[in-house]
Structure 1
Amino acid sequence: MPAQKTPEVLIIGATNAGFAACSSLVAAKPDWKVTLLAQDDDLPYNCDLLPDYLEGKIEKREIMLCEESFFSGHNVEFTRPAAVSGIDFSRQRVYLRNNRRLAYDYLIIAGGRKPALDIPGKNKEGVFVFFGLSDADEIRRRLSIPGNVVVCGRADDSRRLAGLFSSAGRTVKLLLKEGGEFSNLPGDNPEVLCGTDIEEIIGEGKELKAVRLSGGKIVEAASVIFCRRGNPCMDFAAGGEAKIENGRIKTGGNLRAGVDNVFACGEAAAESGAEDARLQGIRAADEILAAESGKTEAVV
């Protein structure tokens, strides 16, 4: 009887779900070939802890899900950054934007977000979207740069960022689409403008000078920070057997994405916190282990 092929598992997204799936698989099957694709250049980290890291409450090492040695120690191919351009479900191939093609026996889609910012002037220096770890590092460096700061977006993150810059002695404008209780912020409480948003970022060339609000008001700014988690984006999975609704992959109760050997979990399938995403990643790994076990039993 010929030796059975060692399964190859490809995981898109070094997210909480993606890393949980990866670590579960290598713990159960150390001889399997597992490849983990990361959207950015960082090691896997817990994105829910980014605000705490940004505020200096915890060190960077405390938000990381593993060290570099994890991948070499478990024979995992960790590719970063990796931009997925498409998937051929019938041929079991994933295509990267650098023209690389990756084969798989099982595919787990556990990531796929992009910062959502469609505002004139968004590329000026000093404009940031608080989206990932590299953004947090850059925003921390901006604390020492003088000038007014405008913060807008998700209420909880915006509040914490406004307090952070206010404590650093900066003049802060906090923009909220809806009202809320924003007293007791660190430092001098920022000016809170409710029911408004940024319509345009103003400046000459790359230089940032001000923002134009939805009511027409002009606010001077040396830094503009949007607190957004990004929109789910599964464009790379479109056009195949996987069904996409509202930017996410529709799955069944077993996390399958319309194809027997393809699974979706975490932010790729639903809005979820770090712990829920981690558990979904483990479940996706368990489904693969069960599927492969069934194949082995059938051969025997």
Structure 2
Amino acid sequence: MYPILQKVDSPADIKKLAIDELNLLAVDIREALFNRLTKIGGHCGPNFGSVEAEIALHFVFNSPQDKFVFDVSHQSYAHKMITGRKLGYIDDSKFQEDSGYTNPEESEHDLFNVGHTSTSISLATGLAKARDLAHKKENVIAFIGDGSLSGGEALEALNYAGSELRSNFIVIVNDNEMSIAENHGAIYKNLEILRESNGNAGLNFFKALGFDYLYEPNGNDIQSLIQTFQKVKDIDHPVVVHIHTLKGKGYPFAEKNKEAWHWCAPFDRASGKPTVDWGDGESYESITANYLLEKAQKDPKLLVITPAMPASVGLSPAIRQALGSQ
């Protein structure tokens, strides 16, 4: 099992691999994800979709000298395997040794213990400013999903970094066309315009904020990503690298139902069904959803307001459709 991943104990090891071996490494990493997620659950869709990007990042850049900051940590599992923590995914007895989030106590390749959204660009901006004050030259890379991009802290950091930094700063925007649920707002409309124009649209949110900009449509192709990342390595000004990926890539259930598979309980790989018996009783989610539906039906003036993870209160796509304009 895991013939290529077994050879990888640090980022230096993947730099020795040919492109066909890197592609096989991606297969191994997904198998390792299946091993962990089917047994103890975790963040599925974000990690399956970003395997190739993290392999390419570690192939091109030199962690921990170059600094990677992952937003929320929901997509950091491949990075953790590459940086010496693969046993937390391939050895069932070691599952509890890996937190599921970036964690400096686990590895020098993790800069922050992160579990909240929209923080990576702000944290990376601080690292870049500290590097400049110390007269150092390493790359600083913030990796952020499109779902985190509209958060206030991310916007505040973009506002500062694009106009004030005059040095190396790389923002990887992992665009899989999803937050946890569907995207809303002007930023996502601009991402769509940029995708449809292959990055050439005149209306470009990132350029308006002072960033240089590159678009990579093949965000799940390692060779394309390596070529793109090589273009921005050691760059002397802020740049956004916009990559288009498929959330849940490699698992058809997760590709088809992206919202439900953002996070998963332990499951059977063949059927996609949970292997945890929750019993036949009501859940907090179903109680909340049924209560809101009942109230909405009785009161047409009732509006339901939820953050961008509506399933956490039972508001599945079907329930949201039933609520309609409410």
**Shared fold (TM-score greater than 0.5)?**
no
Per the normalisation by structure 2, the TM-score is 0.30
More strand by share: 1
Rg larger in 1 or in 2?
1
